[in-house]
């Protein structure tokens, strides 16, 4: 399919009717729907979908830099670039299964712009898959095809669609250390039981366990974020003031979104020539009665 700007998108469907939409612009997942047609990811009504601008919502990929921790543009360039569909994807034995609809995308530094600002030869392979049970998985493989090592950070900046920010809680981050972007990236330790929200939050939780849960009482649903190779978890909500300052987010929309990202930020990943790194994110939905 194509969007109104002519950008190619891929639509995955499972036999039960669940679906996932991925844009080649940024390799960004833009929609994840249940078999009942309920959208699980937030996208702003004011989102700008004109490349190179990433869409405010879905799952933009921050790579090879997270935020302003480096000399590149905020969150790196991967979310602004056009990715390609891989015609002959490699066989991935442990990820392959016949009950999944999937697409393989690849990002290679093709333009001078990218190589000038980040002079490394790499290939970023992304498999997005939708399972029969509706689970959405993103599997990334980053390969160094250069003769010198390089390091990178990565985050799947997942915008979950929620009923109301004051009604949700996040579990799985208790007692962890975190870096607080609102306090100059200073390190703190989480004291509370579960995270609830009453003001702006912008943190990187360090070395979290492999499953983090977002409970939405009002909608009676829970998102489970399972991750491998992604030790950190970003939690972001701009709240009212910051939302007003973001031109591609409505003033009140912050209430209906929460970003919880599987990420590798604090300790960047270093790849020697020929080495490959794999990171997996699996998102699932649990409904309660």
- Residue 234 binds ligand BG6, judged by CB under 6 A: yes
Q: Find the shortest distance in angstroms from Cβ 236 to ligand BG6.
A: 4
* Residue from the set 25, 33, 69, 75 that interacts with ligand BG6 by CB under 6 A: 75
- Alpha carbon of 37 to those of 13, 17, 34, 40, 213: distances in Å? 11, 8, 5, 9, 22
Residue with structure tokens 């972001």?
A: 236
CA atoms of 218 and 56, how far apart (whole Å): 24
Q: Find the shortest distance in angstroms from Cβ 93 to ligand BG6.
A: 34
Cis peptide before 77 (omega within 30 of 0): no
Q: Which is nearer to ligand BG6, 27 or 67 (CB)?
A: 67
As beta bridge partners, residue 178 has: 188, 205
CA atoms of 10 and 27, how far apart (whole Å): 10
Cβ atoms of 81 and 26 within 8 Å: the answer is yes
CA atoms of 272 and 144, how far apart (whole Å): 7
Q: Find the shortest distance in angstroms from Cβ 288 to ligand BG6.
A: 28
* Residue from the set 150, 236, 265, 269 that interacts with ligand BG6 by CB under 6 A: 236
Looking at residues 35 to 74 of the shown chain, list those that interact with ligand BG6 (rule: CB under 6 A). Answer: 67, 74
Site string for ligand BG6, 176-215 (x = CB under 6 A): -----x--------------------x-------------
Residue nearest to ligand BG6 (CB): 236
Binding site for ligand BG6 (CB under 6 A): 67, 74-75, 181, 202, 234, 236
């Amino acid at each position: 399919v194509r969007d109104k700007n002519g950008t190619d998108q891929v639509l995955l469907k499972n036999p039960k009717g669940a679906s996932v939409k991925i844009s080649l612009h940024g390799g960004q997942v833009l929609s994840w729907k249940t078999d009942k047609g309920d959208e699980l990811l937030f996208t702003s009504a004011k989102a700008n979908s004109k490349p190179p601008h990433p869409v405010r919502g879905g799952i933009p990929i921050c790579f090879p830099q997270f935020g302003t921790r480096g000399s590149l543009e905020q969150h790196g360039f991967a979310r602004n670039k056009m990715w390609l569909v891989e015609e002959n994807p490699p066989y991935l034995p442990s990820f392959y299964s016949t009950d999944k609809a999937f697409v393989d995308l690849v990002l290679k530094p093709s333009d001078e712009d990218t190589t000038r600002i980040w002079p490394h030869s790499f290939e970023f392979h992304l498999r997005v898959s939708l399972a029969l049970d509706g689970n959405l998985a993103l599997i990334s493989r980053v390969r160094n095809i250069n003769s010198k090592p390089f390091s990178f950070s990565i985050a799947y900046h997942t915008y979950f669609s929620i009923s109301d920010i004051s009604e949700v809680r996040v579990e799985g981050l208790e007692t962890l250390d975190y870096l607080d972007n609102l306090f100059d990236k200073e390190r703190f330790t989480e004291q509370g039981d579960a995270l609830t929200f009453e003001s702006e939050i912008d943190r990187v939780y360090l070395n979290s366990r492999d499953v983090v849960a977002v409970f939405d009482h009002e909608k009676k649903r829970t998102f489970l974020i399972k991750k491998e190779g992604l030790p950190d978890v970003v939690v972001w909500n701009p709240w009212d003031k910051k939302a007003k300052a973001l031109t591609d987010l409505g003033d009140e929309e912050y209430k209906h979104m929460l970003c919880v990202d599987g990420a590798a930020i604090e300790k960047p990943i270093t790849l020697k020539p020929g080495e490959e790194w794999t990171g997996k994110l699996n998102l699932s939905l649990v409904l309660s009665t």
